[in-house]
Amino acid sequence: MAKRRLIQVLEGERLTPPPIWLMRQAGRYLPEYRETRGKAGGFLDLCYNPDLACEVTLQPIRRFGFDASILFSDILVIPDALGRNLRFVEGEGPRLTPITEEEIGKLDPSRGEEHLRPVIEAVRRIRDSLPDETALIGFCGAPWTVATYMIAGRGTPDQAPSRLFAYRAPDVMDQLLATLADMSADYLLRQLEAGADCVQIFESWGGVLEENSFRRFSILPTKRIVERVRARRPDAKVIGFAKGAGALLEAYKRETGVDAVGLDWTVPREVGQRLQEQGTAVQGNLDPLRLVAGGRALNEGVDAVLDAFGQGPLVFNLGHGITPDAPLAHVEALVRRVRDFKG
């Protein structure tokens, strides 16, 4: 079977047109997703139901024919597997019992394998159900990003509780991040073994860290994940998405060992182009609000991404997740415009 287009790009090839998928492409902007979500009950019920998780993962592939699908789950299934009392409040987001310094040393990662078994079963079912040419992406949250929710018990605007925790008890933070890194690496390995073609590490909150803290609390734990994965799967392809890292992305790529770098919509084109010149695939980076706006704003945004990065290894994507108010017609227009790119 021919190598899937996404994997070709992750290996450094330039394809015209570039492969395309969208972060959060299985989500509330799709009427079929909303219908399935209603059947599931709660959000976590959907994540842990292999049949329904498979169904919602396939929905955007059926509708838009993206080159890749991404497992439908959530980055917080890892703390949930650690027994941190995860729940989702409608309209407000995740809630957890905030973890204390004393509790960090008592975390038991061994309970995670059984807890996450339904997610791994979903990966198997998705791979069996996808078209042969469509890649399947597995994922996890980066340790720092997951830790921010565990420490604050919820999302916060600038993750001040976790930053303060790290300044006051850096060694304890290192311990938490190491536990999360090892558990996340094993989780990614299980996804790869179940049929994922590659994996993505979501560092959604790396951009709040100063440079020294970014290296210690974002780069080093991500490097630990990549090395642990590669120790068992030397050929594993890993995408790193460090939102807000900006000028630190080159160091992030170099020091973590990821194969490709996701670019959020604020990353200057020069940063992405330098990565490409070094043989690194980049992924991104259309502002999700251009997709909501449509028309000229959408067309100009798509063309700018293709103009900036289309001469190198590129996976076309948004600079963050698709929003629930994105019109279906605008997504269709986006796909057409990317597919029409001649380079």
Q: Which of 37, 125, 190, 290 is catalytic?
A: 37
pLDDT, position 112: 86
Nearest by Cα to 203 from 169, 249, 170: 249
| DSSP 3-state of 343 | coil
Q: Which of 29, 33, 48, 149 is catalytic?
A: 149
Check: CB of residue 82 under 8 Å from CB of residue 116: no
The answer to whether residue 174 is catalytic is: no
The answer to whether residue 168 is catalytic is: no
Q: Which of 63, 74, 95, 124 is catalytic?
A: 74
The terminus-to-terminus CA distance of the chain in angstroms comes to: 26
Residue 28 phi/psi, 5-degree rounding, is: -70, -15
The answer to whether residue 87 is catalytic is: no
Check: pTM over 0.75? Answer yes or no: yes
The answer to whether residue 224 is catalytic is: no
| DSSP 3-state of 84 | coil
The answer to whether residue 232 is catalytic is: no
Check: CB of residue 319 under 8 Å from CB of residue 266: yes
pLDDT, position 1: 57
pLDDT, position 343: 82
Residue whose entry in the numeric block shows the structure tokens 């630990």: 224
Nearest by Cα to 235 from 280, 181, 262, 196: 196
Q: How far is residue 46's CA from residue 56's CA, in Å, rounded to a whole number?
A: 9
List of the chain residues with pLDDT < 70: 1
pLDDT, position 91: 80
Provide the pairing of β-strand 93-95 with 87-89.
Answer: antiparallel
Nearest by Cα to 328 from 64, 21, 48, 44: 64
Query: Burial level of 251, CB count in 10 A (0-12/13-18/19+)?
Result: middle
Tell me the domains of the chain and their CATH numbers.
Answer: 26-281 (3.20.20.210)
DSSP H or E stretch at residue 226: helix 220-232
